[in-house]
Every structure is written in C-alpha cells, then in structure tokens.
Amino acid sequence: MALTDTFAKNVKPTGSTVGNKHTDGQGLYLHVKDAGKYWRMSYRFHGKQKTLALGVYPAVSLAKARQRRDKARELLADGIDPGTAKRDEKQAKAAAAGNTFEAVAEQWLKATAAKRAAITQDKVTTWLRKDVFPKIGRMPITSIGPRDVLAVVRKMEARGVFDSAKRIGQICGQVFRYAVAEGTAERDVTTDLRGAFQHAEKKHYAAITDPVQLGALLRSIDAYTGHLYSVAALKLSPLVFLRPGELRTGEWAEMDLEAAEWRIPGSKMKMKNDHIVPLSQQAVEILQSLHPITGHGRYVFPSLRTGERPMSENTVNAALRGMGYSNEVHTAHGFRATARTIMDEVLGERVDLIEHQLAHAVKDANGRAYNRTAHLPARREMMQRWADYLDKLRAGADVIQFKKA
C-alpha cells in the first residue's frame, strides 16, 4: 500500500536496532529508526542489489522522495546507475566549489608571475582582489557568464577608470583561458564581450614646463612636511627621469652610490631593456640620507604600512595634490615631460641623450637600438647639469631661457 503524508508524520520507531521499513512502491520505502526517518530506494543494477539514499523526512517530503525515485528509475532505464550518478554529481559540485574564480585566478597569478615585471604583478593582483573577487570571486568559474564579467567592468567604468576596466576584462579572459587549459572551465566567456568595453580619451600626463613655475614647484617640495619616504621620492623624481612605477619599486640592490649609478633590470622597465640612471651629486645625497632608514630592507621607498612591499603608486601624486598641484597641473609622471621639454627647448641638450635617459627606444643610423651604456659619460654630465639647473631654479635665480646652438 502506498504511503501517505499522515503516516510518514505519525509513524514511530519500534525500538528495533535495524529499524522498520515501510514500502511506498517501485522500490521506494521509508526506513524508520530511533535516529530519524530516511527515504531509501531499493534497486538492482547489473544483477546486484543496491540502495539509494533519497533524503531525510520531513526535510524531504513524500512527494519529493517520489520525484527523486522517478528520476532514478529514468536513469536506470537509460542504463545508468543512479547511485554512481549521484556520487559523480556530488563530486562535481565539490570540485566546482573549489574551483571558484578567485581560486583559479590565484593559481594563474602564481603560474604566470615570471612573465610579468614585479610592478605589473602587484598591479594585476590589486585589481583582481579589489575589483573582481568581491563581485565574482566566490562563484564557481564554470557558472560565470559574459554578463558577470561585464558587470565588473561596467562598475569600474562608472568610476572613470576606462583603461583599467578594459585591462581587467582582458585579465579575466586570461584567467578563463588558463582554466580551460587546466580543465576547470570549458571556454573563455570574455570572447563574447569583444567591443563591449568603453575607451577613454588618450590624455597626456600634466606637466609643468615653464622654468619659473618649476622653480616654485621645487620650493614647494622643499617645504613639504609629509612622510619622510614621500618627501625623498618627491625630491628624487625630477632628478632621475623615471616613470613613477620604476621609481617607487627601486631596490637598494640596484644602487651603486659610490659609482653614482642606479641599474634597473629590464623586467621593471616598460621597454623591457636594462637601464642605467647616472645619479647626480644631488640624487646621491638624497639616497644617502635615506639609506640609514630603509637600507636594511629591500625597497628604497617601502610601503608606509609594511616594508615588504614598495610604496603605493598613488603616494607621489597624493603628495602633489596635498601641495596644491591638481592632476590638470602636474603629475608624478609629468616630471619626465618637464625634463624632456626644458632640457631640449631651454637648455639645448642633445635630444638623443635625453631620449636615452628617458628609456625611450633610440636607434642608430643603421636602425639598431643602442644598449644601456650608450653615451653613458655624456649622459652623466647632462644629468649633473640638469640637477645644478634645478638648484638654481629652486633658489629663484634669473636663469636665462634660451636654446644654445
């Protein structure tokens, strides 16, 4: 006789150690024990008697138990063992839970770290942990669709960081392709988003290129009372022609203060070429004053929170903002344009030497790229002339503004 909800609710255990089985039909029965009431299905597969667990009453009702029984019978009709299918499904869910986007992305970060410069690795890691993981990090990577990734990108675009948003979309695609290669995803869903990302208008970094205004900026830097690391980074920025990321990730191991040289490995440079910065006397003095404080660690400008990481990429720009220089007036990256413009148009320095020192691609008459030591003595003299010129501007001297022949 088929069971009823009333029977399932009211039936009591008899005290038997093995419990009592109450049949519903087509293999389904309610196994009543002292510990509870369990839905079970008895079936045969390849001549062997087996039992399939279908849930516990009352969490699983009689109707739900019958649905599960019917599904199991459909599998049997297709030649599939429902017990094996249930186990495989459970394992797949467990695997999916372990293969969240965050877990796979962290694996990808480690597996591909050697292909990126340290500064890029830090930036990509920060992007993922700040902008991506909070949104889709806990989702199984196999359950993520194009719209999920697009939602992450759109949220960043709403903040106006269009280039970073587009880069995040590309990074997510790389994570998906890594997952496909590792067998934890079927496809890269970001391929459906091609052309969907917005583009920011290309803007040049704001820079002061008037000598009088530059002198005022230098005096403001001297008067700045921020953190010691920030002050040192500000003072060094106009002297070395480096990009902010190259400056803030500088390591003491790269410095030879006796030779007055900063040797930066290509892995840190935008053009991927080793680079030498001849240090002026003024630059050496700044570094010498900082060495007793940070010289015991790896980074010249360590993070204000932990010495194990370099200074934040926003530190110098934040200091400039605090001094009253907006993004539209001058930026940390703008020190390069400042040097490039004034050294050429005012001081008349050789353009090829300036380009070398900016770590731009410079080629000889035969189209060959110069190596890092090209014209090093001349570049050293040029860097010292520039530092001396900045001292005069800082002092408010009446520097003649003309381009020498």
Give the distance, in angstroms, between the CA of residue 393 and the centroid of all CA atoms in the same chain.
40
Q: Provide the percentage of residues in the chain whose pLDDT is more than 90.
A: 62
Taking 70 as the threshold, does the pLDDT of residue 201 lie above it? no
Taking 50 as the threshold, does the pLDDT of residue 402 lie above it? no
Amino acid 140: pLDDT: 87
Catalytic pick among 68, 69, 166, 243: 243
Amino acid 247: pLDDT: 94
**Residue type, position 365, single letter:** A
**Residues in contact with 349: Cβ distance below 8 Å, sequence separation at least 6, in sequence order:** 343, 382, 385, 386
| pTM beyond cutoff 0.75 | no
Q: Identify the helix (H) or strand (E) that includes residue 75.
A: helix 62-77
**Residue type, position 379, single letter:** R
pLDDT in tens, 159-168: 777 778 888 9
Amino acid 371: pLDDT: 65
Token pair for 112: 């591909």
Taking 70 as the threshold, does the pLDDT of residue 278 lie above it? yes
Mean confidence (pLDDT) of the chain: 88
pLDDT in tens, 380-396: 999 999 999 999 999 98
Taking 70 as the threshold, does the pLDDT of residue 174 lie above it? yes
Q: For residue 375, is it left (φ>0), alpha (ψ between -120 and 50) or beta? A: left
Taking 50 as the threshold, does the pLDDT of residue 226 lie above it? yes
Catalytic pick among 330, 333, 380, 394: 333
pLDDT in tens, 21-72: 999 999 999 999 988 999 999 999 999 999 999 999 999 999 999 999 999 9
Burial of 194 (C-beta count, 10 Å sphere; 0-12/13-18/19+)? exposed
Catalytic pick among 370, 372, 375, 385: 370
Query: Whose CA is closest to 232, among 283, 299, 269?
Result: 283
- Binned at pLDDT 50, 70 and 90, residue 405 comes out as very low
Give the distance, in angstroms, between the CA of residue 318 and the centroid of all CA atoms in the same chain.
21
Burial of 339 (C-beta count, 10 Å sphere; 0-12/13-18/19+)? buried
Amino acid 199: pLDDT: 61
Taking 80 as the threshold, does the pLDDT of residue 93 lie above it? no
Amino acid 42: pLDDT: 95
pLDDT in tens, 325-342: 998 999 999 999 999 999
CA distance 267 to 275: 10
Token pair for 231: 């002050």
Amino acid 115: pLDDT: 86
Per the annotation, the verdict on 340 as an active-site residue is: no
Catalytic pick among 87, 130, 227, 360: 360
Taking 80 as the threshold, does the pLDDT of residue 268 lie above it? yes
Per the annotation, the verdict on 333 as an active-site residue is: yes
Per the annotation, the verdict on 270 as an active-site residue is: yes
**Residues in contact with 128: Cβ distance below 8 Å, sequence separation at least 6, in sequence order:** 105, 109, 168, 171
Place of tokens 């190596």: 371
Amino acid 404: pLDDT: 44
Taking 70 as the threshold, does the pLDDT of residue 96 lie above it? no
CA distance 140 to 142: 5
SS3 content of the chain, % helix, strand, coil (to 5): 50, 10, 35
pLDDT in tens, 104-154: 999 999 999 988 878 788 889 988 999 999 999 988 888 889 999 999 999
Taking 90 as the threshold, does the pLDDT of residue 359 lie above it? no
Taking 70 as the threshold, does the pLDDT of residue 365 lie above it? no
| Residue 199 DSSP symbol | -
Q: Provide the percentage of residues in the chain whose pLDDT is more than 70.
A: 91
DSSP 329-351: T--TTHHHHHHHHHHHHTS---H
Per the annotation, the verdict on 360 as an active-site residue is: yes
Per the annotation, the verdict on 57 as an active-site residue is: no
Catalytic pick among 68, 69, 235, 336: 336
Catalytic pick among 123, 219, 270, 298: 270
Query: Whose CA is closest to 182, among 98, 91, 85, 86?
Result: 98
Mean pLDDT, to the nearest integer, of 353-363? 81
Handedness of CA 128, 132, 134, 139 (dihedral sign): negative
Amino acid 63: pLDDT: 95
- 379, 277 contact by CB (below 8 A): no
- Report CA-CA distances (Å) from 88 to 34, 65, 95, 195: 30, 20, 10, 39
Q: Identify the helix (H) or strand (E) that includes residue 171.
A: helix 162-182
- 277, 262 contact by CB (below 8 A): yes
- 394, 292 contact by CB (below 8 A): no
Taking 90 as the threshold, does the pLDDT of residue 401 lie above it? no
Query: Whose CA is closest to 209, among 117, 305, 350, 346?
Result: 346
